[in-house]
């Protein structure tokens, strides 16, 4: 299989063609929402749980580890066929 060009115009054209395909939009939005949710958890959870709700730092570390373990496990399992 020949390699494709990495020229910016070729990349933009390829990306635009993907965005025009209606079958791509729903899975892309699902993946986007998942990543946005994870980013929101990572950026706000320590402040909200430890300072706002009084969760101990040790308990917070366990909660954070479970979320990250879920993220890593999901990526690993989805890569298996």
Which residues in 4-35 are b (16+ Cβ under 10 Å) and which e? eeeeeeeeeeeeeeeeeeeeeeeeeeeeeeee
Q: What is the pLDDT of residue 81?
A: 61
Spans in the chain with pLDDT lower than 50 = none
The kind and range of the H/E element at 64 are: helix 57-79
Q: What is the pLDDT of residue 7?
A: 87
Q: What is the pLDDT of residue 23?
A: 92
Q: What is the pLDDT of residue 32?
A: 93
Cα(6)–Cα(8) distance, integer angstroms: 6
Q: What is the pLDDT of residue 58?
A: 96
């Amino acid at each position: 299989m020949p390699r494709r060009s990495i020229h910016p115009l070729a990349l933009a054209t390829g990306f635009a063609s993907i965005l025009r395909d209606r079958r791509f939009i729903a899975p892309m939005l699902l993946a986007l929402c998942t990543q946005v949710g994870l980013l929101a958890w990572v950026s706000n959870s320590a402040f909200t749980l430890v300072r706002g709700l009084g969760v101990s730092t040790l308990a917070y570390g366990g909660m954070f580890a479970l979320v990250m373990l879920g993220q890593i496990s999901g990526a690993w399992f989805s890569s298996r066929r």
